[in-house]
């Protein structure tokens, strides 16, 4: 199933780019990342601040693991779980009428006057990323990966 291996490689590298970009854009301002989590109004402020400070590092770690092709199935599983949490958070904000930027690829937070949230787009995008993670859960064998070298499968 050569085509599945190539498709999985593209999915792995694509998801790696997503996590590295998302985490990289947030890691420089952890306080803003905490405020973005707090904007969802799900956790107490102190808890949201800790989650916001840890999230960019988790995203970068997942990106690096996927980029290297190390623990692909585990990284895909954690990615899928994280994306489900993100989608649930966006749906929660939407149904409660919050006017926030999701903070997925930015510092997020409350939207300015006259700005409208893009919840439908945010959910669709994250579902697409979830499909990538799901494919990697099902088919974690990829080309140019540490896993392939460790398993000796010649990929």
DSSP H or E run through 134: helix 119-138
User: What does the pLDDT read at residue 47?
Assistant: 97
Residue 2, classified by CB atoms within 10 Å of its CB into exposed (0-12), middle (13-18) or buried (19+), is: exposed
CA distance 148 to 18: 22
142 within 8 A of 1, measured Cβ to Cβ: no
- State percent of the chain over pLDDT 70: 98
pLDDT digits (tens, 9 = 90+) for 29-41: 999 999 999 999 9
User: What does the pLDDT read at residue 84?
Assistant: 98
The arithmetic mean of pLDDT across residues 42-68, rounded, is: 97
pLDDT digits (tens, 9 = 90+) for 66-103: 999 999 999 999 999 999 999 999 999 999 999 999 88
153-67-145 Cα angle (round to 5): 10
Q: How far is CA 142 from the centre of its chain?
A: 20
pLDDT digits (tens, 9 = 90+) for 124-151: 999 999 999 999 999 999 999 999 899 8
pLDDT at 154 over 70: no
User: What does the pLDDT read at residue 151?
Assistant: 87
Q: Locate tokens 């999230």: which residue?
A: 55
pLDDT band with cut points at 50, 70 and 90 for residue 55? very high
Strand partners, 100: 110
User: What does the pLDDT read at residue 153?
Assistant: 74
Q: By C-alpha distance, which of 19, 20, 55 is closest to 34?
A: 55
CA distance 139 to 104: 26
């Amino acid at each position: 199933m050569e085509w599945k291996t190539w498709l999985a490689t593209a999915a792995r590298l694509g998801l790696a780019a997503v996590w590295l970009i998302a985490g990289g854009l947030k890691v420089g301002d952890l306080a803003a990342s905490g405020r973005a989590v707090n904007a969802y109004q799900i956790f107490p402020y102190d808890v949201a601040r800790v989650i916001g400070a840890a999230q960019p590092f988790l995203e970068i770690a997942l990106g690096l693991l996927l980029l290297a092709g190390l623990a692909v199935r585990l990284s895909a599983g954690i990615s899928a779980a994280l994306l489900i949490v993100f989608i649930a958070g966006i749906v929660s904000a939407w149904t409660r009428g919050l006017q926030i930027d999701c903070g997925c690829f930015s510092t997020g937070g409350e939207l300015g006057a006259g700005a409208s949230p893009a919840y439908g787009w945010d959910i669709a995008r994250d579902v697409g990323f979830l499909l990538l993670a799901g494919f990697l859960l099902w088919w974690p064998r990829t080309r140019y990966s540490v896993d392939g070298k460790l398993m000796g499968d010649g990929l």
